């Protein structure tokens, strides 16, 4: 599903920062992977490249067989829309839209009619057990609820992979448990899941743990649990 071949990335500046120094990575369909590393290890950069939010300098990145390289803004927006679901640490829900509208947003950019996308969004809210909360705005919801809405939003476009950036960073431990449970359920349904985290407990819930250090993969092993 994901193929990183010798990916290099340097941030230009007065002092150029060589962040990724030749990363090779293969992730198959349906895997549940966590990427760990200290800050500055390059894990955020990797996530951005994975999510087609940022370019890389050299190497090749294949997503589902498609080469992701030198894409136009419009094209990369289209790929993000159809292939990738994002889950963020700070939820990144749009404050003036209610739960239902937030979930339905990716379908808006796919050109689905309002009525239809609201019906689909309602289904996904139901899956997250939040159908009674559809008309609430983000600031009226708890952290766990917000993240479940974000998960519903990530799923609604039926993406090939889901990228989760510190999905539990802003949550307490019991909610963390709950959210990770939801993520593994989603993974069980067959969607490739990649979680970036610095918490070992979170990484332990995944099936494969990749450690990044100074821009290269330090270790890559299956989680024996």
C-alpha span between 14 and 53 (Å, rounded): 23
CB of 180 to another protein, least distance (A): 22
Can residue 82 be called a binding residue for another protein (CB under 8 A)?
A: yes
CB of 118 to another protein, least distance (A): 10
Can residue 81 be called a binding residue for another protein (CB under 8 A)?
A: yes
Contact region for another protein (CB under 8 A) — 1-9, 33-41, 90-98, 188-196? Answer: 90-98
Residue of 15, 96, 139, 224 that binds another protein (CB under 8 A): 96
Contact region for another protein (CB under 8 A) — 27-35, 61-69, 87-95, 177-185? Answer: 87-95
Q: Is the dihedral of CA 140, 145, 149, 150 positive or negative?
A: positive
Residues 102-161 that bind another protein (CB under 8 A): 105-106, 108-111, 114, 153, 157
CB of 177 to another protein, least distance (A): 25
Can residue 3 be called a binding residue for another protein (CB under 8 A)?
A: no
Strand partners, 163: 86, 194
Can residue 80 be called a binding residue for another protein (CB under 8 A)?
A: yes
Residue of 59, 88, 136, 208 that binds another protein (CB under 8 A): 88
Can residue 39 be called a binding residue for another protein (CB under 8 A)?
A: no
**Residues whose CB falls within 8 Å of the CB of residue 81, separated by 6 or more in sequence, listed in order:** 106, 109, 110, 157
Residues 159-188 that bind another protein (CB under 8 A): none
User: Mask 46-65, x = binds another protein (CB under 8 A)?
Assistant: --x--x-xx-----------
Query: Pairing mode, if any, of strands 84-87 and 66-67?
Result: unpaired
- Binding residues for another protein, rule: CB under 8 A, are 44, 48, 51, 53-54, 73-74, 77-78, 80-82, 86, 88, 90, 92-97, 101, 105-106, 108-111, 114, 153, 157
């Amino acid at each position: 599903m994901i193929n990183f071949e010798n990916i290099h990335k340097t941030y230009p500046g007065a002092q150029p920062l060589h962040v990724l120094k030749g990363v090779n990575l293969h992730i198959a369909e349906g895997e549940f992977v966590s990427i760990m590393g200290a800050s500055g290890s390059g894990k955020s950069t990797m996530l951005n490249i994975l999510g087609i939010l940022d370019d890389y300098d050299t190497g090749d990145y294949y997503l589902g067989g498609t080469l992701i390289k030198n894409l136009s803004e419009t094209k990369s927006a289209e790929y993000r829309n159809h292939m990738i679901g994002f889950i963020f640490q700070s939820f990144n829900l749009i404050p003036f839209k209610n739960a239902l509208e937030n979930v339905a947003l990716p379908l808006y950019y796919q050109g689905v009619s309002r009525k239809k996308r609201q019906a689909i969004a309602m289904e996904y809210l139901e899956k997250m057990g939040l159908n009674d909360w559809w008309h609430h705005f983000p600031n009226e919801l708890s952290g766990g609820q917000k993240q479940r809405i974000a998960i519903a939003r990530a799923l609604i476009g039926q993406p090939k992979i889901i990228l989760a950036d510190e999905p539990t960073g802003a949550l307490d431990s019991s909610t963390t448990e709950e959210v990770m449970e939801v993520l593994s359920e989603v993974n069980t349904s067959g969607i490739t899941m990649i979680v970036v985290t610095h918490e070992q407990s979170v990484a332990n819930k995944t099936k494969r743990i990749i450690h990044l250090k100074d821009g290269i993969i330090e270790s890559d092993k299956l989680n024996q649990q």
